[in-house]
A and B are shown apart, each in its own frame.
Chain A
């Protein structure tokens, strides 16, 4: 296995640690995109993030990948800390598996990503208030429209 694959596997394992024990194996083992959507989103996007962290941190690729992961974690039974914790885990994973890597530069990128993750987490929670409001508007839209039209 290439080092990067090994890092990804270890990182994934760290990211699912937040879930109840019985679920960890399912999230890890089941590869079907539709039978294991949570694991799939996590795996796909961690791979993108890893490439970017070891590479150039291109925002147009980093941001959507991070968003996809956080969006899932923001609605699950996780605290804010647990939702973003996986980002920090990368530092030690890389430290263990690829000690030759420039820890300082990676550390900076991880910090940057972590800050983005916090932002995204807050955005998701805010989004939930917004969609909640929109839903209640739609639920009574006809009477509201009638009132507007003076019907």
Chain B
């Protein structure tokens, strides 16, 4: 008897990373961007095409475009130039990528991902590579290589985890960003990024929700909140002279569980009597330009300062969102500043001056709330969150592009009685990505996302088994959209919530009615006793 007859199809072991051939298998790549969205943004080579097709309808001078594009970016970005040169292939990053850990595809090792473009750089831009070719690690630029770039640069969520461990700080996110810019020059965009970017550019937010519908959503949220708390909150939109402009990711007003976080913000602003305004023009904090190109990032981000200037606010408050905060923290003022028409942010309740945001004049809601709590300006009843045993997932961008680690934890520990951290090497600056960041959270890409999210889910499973955790809190709109899916597959029974949803649950509001439900409209206590950790299925 032999087992070999079952080995019908072996995965061919890739002997050499230089072989660019990739198979576009359904479930592991994103749809190409529709021509009309590419056109709406004025990006090159709008056309209808499919990554699985043999002919990608590239412009005839595609090679020249790429090489010129590389030359230009080598001159503009020291990061790019340096990262092309200094990798020693020590391997420290190899097992740090969640896509590699979940997929076991060796080209997902960060240094190999970078090597895909680095090899072309060597061949065309270094003396050694021009002379010695592949002996010096160079590789010819072919259409196959373009396809390979597309496959693997849309398999990197720009989470920067590898960069933490690299002895030279080589940041694959930076390389992926440049790689995608180059692909965009040929019109190789993905729809899940380009369509929201186009809608955001024209209408104001990713879903293209128009001003009147935007207002309706907020009014609807106010109705819901009134049902839970008995309190009617104001919905100021485009209010000139307000002290603060509030900007959130648009998912907060059209998707769940984001929406409950919006109810949390609303309760908080009402309770402290904040003089603020929403904006229908800048109704998107998220910025899919970050996943397109530096230029697109700037084009979409410009609205926030423009609107702040028009409304005459003193400073800007930003909601819970990951990549939005990478842009706000590391790019906004450089791109669209100086923000000299704004003031250094001062909390009207505590008088705290946010020195860390004095120039950009934009404060993260977790910084703002932590300050309120520290000065005991709001009252919380953490018992209202007792049905939850909570853990916290650090979103990549606030963790590794900002360092916002303790503020949300401070809020959580005050708002919840049961809080448990995941293991050390999976949180804070070492946090694992949800696997869907940087515009990859689309449903046709689900299989790849499940692979990429497995290391994170594995750590969640650990705290579920150990502490009976049933809620994962986070401060990222993409997490809130995709983590429930991830956990439903890998760790059923763990739900996802924003930090300010939990705050909103616990917040004791002046004049509120006795609360019987949380912001989700669910009874405050679990109906049946929670399964004890021992009974949770092991595996």
Contacts and interface: CB of A to CB of B under 8 A. Distances in A.
B255 A138 contact: yes
Contacts of A124: 489
Contacts of B13: 20-22
A68 interface: yes
Contacts of B8: 79, 81
A19 B104 contact: yes
Contact of A141 (B11, B105, B223, B259): B259
B91 to A, nearest CB: 11
A30 B95 contact: yes
Interface stretch (B63-71, B129-137, B280-288, B449-457): B449-457
Interface in B207-254: 207, 213, 216-217, 219-221, 223, 251, 253-254
B11 A37 contact: no
A20 B105 contact: yes
Contacts of B25: 77
Contacts of A23: 104-106
Interface in B111-167: none
A3 interface: no
Nearest to B423: A34
B95 A36 contact: yes
B517 interface: no
Interface string B481-494: 11011001110000
A61 B55 CA distance: 51
Is chain A's binding surface mostly helix, strand, loop or mixed? helix
Interface residues of A, number: 57
Contact of A142 (B14, B255, B485): B255
A141 B489 contact: no
B9 A82 contact: yes
A38 B489 contact: no
A46 B425 CA distance: 25
Contact of B459 (A20, A34, A88, A139): A34
A2 interface: no
A67 B539 contact: yes
A149 interface: yes
Interface in B357-392: none
A49 to B, nearest CB: 11
A64 B482 CA distance: 25
Contacts of A36: 95, 101
Contacts of A26: 94-95, 104
B437 interface: no
A112 interface: no
Interface string B398-423: 00000000000000000000000001
B61 to A, nearest CB: 34
Contacts of A72: 454
B254 A140 contact: yes
A37 to B, nearest CB: 4
A146 B484 contact: no
A37 B100 CA distance: 11
A143 B481 contact: no
Interface in A49-106: 64-65, 67-68, 71-72, 75-79, 81-82, 85, 88-89, 91-92
Contacts of B216: 146, 151
B60 interface: no
Interface in A26-40: 26-27, 30, 32-38, 40
A22 B259 contact: no
Nearest to A146: B220
Given A23-B106, A143-B254, A134 B458 contact: no
B217 A143 contact: yes
A142 B220 contact: yes
A88 B446 CA distance: 29
A135 interface: yes
Interface centre among A20, A36, A44, A142 (most CB of B within 10 A): A142
Given A64-B537, A132-B485, A141-B259, A76 B103 contact: yes
A146 B10 CA distance: 51
Nearest to B496: A138
Nearest to A90: B3
B412 to A, nearest CB: 22
Nearest to B109: A22
B458 A41 contact: yes
Interface string B518-539: 0000000000000000000111
Nearest to A95: B1
Contact of A20 (B3, B106, B423): B106
A89 B5 CA distance: 11
Interface string B79-99: 000000000000000110000
Contact of B454 (A38, A78, A85): A38
Contacts of A40: 458
Nearest to A92: B3
Given A128-B446, A142-B253, A143-B254, A19 B101 contact: no
8 contacts: A20-B14, A22-B14, A38-B104, A41-B539, A140-B254, A142-B220, A146-B216, A151-B219
Given A40-B458, A138-B481, 16 more contacts: A26-B104, A32-B425, A38-B104, A41-B458, A64-B538, A65-B539, A76-B104, A76-B451, A88-B6, A92-B1, A128-B446, A135-B481, A135-B482, A139-B481, A141-B255, A149-B220
Interface of A: 17-23, 26-27, 30, 32-38, 40-41, 44-45, 64-65, 67-68, 71-72, 75-79, 81-82, 85, 88-89, 91-92, 124, 127-128, 131-132, 134-136, 138-143, 145-146, 149, 151
